[in-house]
């Protein structure tokens, strides 16, 4: 009896000690600084957060279009994607090898675009290994809001603008035969409407694609499935076609009713056309893909952060070291570029004139050539 009493007292004391420890931990974690300390013990890589913030601010300075609404919308989309917790087991491995590849490529060809994607892949690797599995959608988002994407859409949508102007003039011609077009300019009732890059809706292309990414993320979370990468790309390509169609009807509406830029009706017409011709068809298509293409949809699994903390720290520190190296290297290349004197002839039979620090004018009796850097590269 005495031994049983002693054993029961020892068990009670041990249970009491465990309970006191739990109460102390819960009480301490209610204090902000102590809660941060306990979180730091579980995720020591959180110390890299300010490091990555500094690297992004330095690496993206004078490059990332912070003033663009599409860029801010993309960053808002990123905040939703990084909380979704959807992704495959190999995504972190892909981000590691991709980051290493782009860092190496930046050392060979030190341009800002490669530096941009090196930072993006490094941050995504950090998120994947330290916080939550976010999948491939964040990478697509950062590609959409990248300056090089804006440059590519600006260049390759020029023939589309010409074709849209011609088709819009033909549609309007059924109602008024006096309508004509010259290139990207539509002549109607004495007024000229220029279908320029803004009227083509380059920001609408980016916002349409980002809306498609949000739809993909929404339905993945709703049905607890991960849509395969190929279907996601085909879905986003379909959205681009919808945006082109949307802009066609938008141009017809603006010209027919003489709605000029920088007016409330101009913006309202764009919003209504976007909802009718992009958002609704994209939502219906996504619902169709979910129902009809289930065989091409991979079930989402619960993924845990890798338990080997030393391996995680080593990977992230190596990537951070590589990012610091290429940022310093690219910045050094920026400050050591050669500026030619104003009257230096770089092409024979041309008169050279430097209009600014980065724009050079070449002129002879037959032609004028302007040489300027590509801002998105």
Q: Which helix (H) or strand (E) holds 225?
A: strand 225-227
Neighbouring residues of 56: CB distance < 8 A, sequence distance ≥ 6: 119, 123
Average pLDDT over residues 227-246: 89
- Which of the listed ranges 141-155, 216-230, 346-360, 361-375 does the model predict with the highest average pLDDT? 141-155
Q: pLDDT digits over 39-63, tens only?
A: 444 466 777 888 888 999 998 887 8
Higher pLDDT, residue 306 or 346: 346
Is residue 24 over pLDDT 50?
Answer: no
> So where are the chain's domains?
2-36, 47-133+306-337, 141-302, 340-377
Report which secondary-structure segment, H or E, holds 351: strand 351-354
Bridge partners of 299? 225
256/297: higher pLDDT: 256
Residue 176 Ramachandran class (φ > 0 left, ψ -120 to 50 alpha, else beta): beta
212 within 8 A of 236, measured Cβ to Cβ: yes
State the Cα–Cα distance between residues 46 and 313, nearest whole angstrom.
11
The predicted structure's pLDDT at residue 241: 92
Burial of 163 (0-12, 13-18, 19+ CB in 10 A): middle
Query: In the structure, what pLDDT confidence band is assigned to residue 235 with cuts at 50, 70 and 90?
Result: very high
| Contact call for residues 39 and 45 (beta carbons, < 8 A) | no
Q: What is the pTM of this model?
A: 0.74
Q: Quickly list DSSP for 169-209.
A: HHHHHTT-TT-EEETTEEEETTEEEE--HHHHTHHHHHHHH
Express as a percent the part of the chain with pLDDT over 70: 69
**Band (308; pLDDT cuts 50, 70, 90):** low
Higher local confidence (pLDDT), 25 or 203: 203
Q: What's the mean pLDDT when you consider all of the chain?
A: 75
pLDDT of amino acid 228:
80
Q: What is d(CA 326, CA 315) in angstroms, rounded to the nearest whole number?
A: 17
pLDDT given for residue 265 in this prediction:
82
CA–CA distance, 98 with 123 (Å, rounded to integer): 12
pLDDT score at 377: 67
Q: How confident is the model at residue 190 (pLDDT cuts 50, 70, 90)?
A: low
């Amino acid at each position: 009896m005495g031994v049983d009493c002693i054993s029961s007292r020892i068990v009670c004391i041990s249970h009491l000690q465990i309970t006191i420890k739990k109460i102390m931990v819960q009480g301490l974690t209610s204090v902000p600084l102590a809660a941060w300390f306990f979180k730091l013990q579980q995720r020591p890589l959180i110390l890299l957060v300010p490091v990555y913030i500094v690297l992004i601010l330095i690496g993206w300075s004078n490059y990332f279009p912070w003033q663009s609404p599409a860029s801010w919308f993309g960053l808002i989309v990123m905040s939703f994607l990084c909380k979704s917790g959807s992704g495959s087991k190999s995504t972190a491995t892909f981000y590691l090898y991709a980051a290493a590849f782009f860092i190496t490529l930046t050392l060979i060809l030190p341009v800002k675009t490669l530096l941009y994607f090196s930072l993006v892949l490094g941050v995504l690797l950090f998120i994947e290994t330290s916080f939550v599995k976010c999948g491939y959608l964040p990478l697509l988002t950062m590609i959409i809001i990248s300056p090089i994407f804006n440059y590519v859409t600006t260049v390759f949508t020029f023939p589309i603008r010409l074709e849209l102007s011609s088709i819009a003039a033909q549609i309007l011609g059924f109602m008024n035969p006096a309508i004509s077009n010259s290139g990207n300019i539509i002549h109607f009732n004495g007024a000229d409407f220029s279908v320029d890059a803004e009227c083509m809706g380059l920001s609408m292309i980016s916002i349409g694609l980002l809306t498609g990414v949000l739809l993909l993320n929404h339905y993945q979370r709703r049905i607890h499935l991960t849509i395969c990468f190929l279907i996601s790309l085909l879905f986003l390509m379909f959205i681009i076609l919808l945006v082109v169609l949307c802009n066609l009807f938008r141009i017809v509406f603006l010209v027919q009713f003489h709605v000029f830029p920088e007016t409330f009706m101009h913006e309202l017409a764009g919003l209504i056309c976007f909802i009718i011709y992009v958002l609704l068809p994209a939502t219906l298509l996504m619902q169709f893909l979910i129902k009809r293409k289930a065989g091409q949809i991979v079930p989402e699994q619960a993924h845990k952060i890798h338990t080997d903390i030393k391996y995680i720290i080593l990977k992230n520190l190596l990537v951070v070291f590589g990012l610091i190296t290429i940022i310093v290297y690219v910045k050094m290349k920026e400050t050591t570029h050669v500026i030619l004197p104003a009257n230096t002839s770089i092409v024979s039979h041309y008169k050279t004139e430097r209009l600014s620090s980065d724009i050079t004018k070449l002129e002879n009796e037959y032609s004028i050539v302007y040489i300027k850097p590509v801002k998105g590269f």
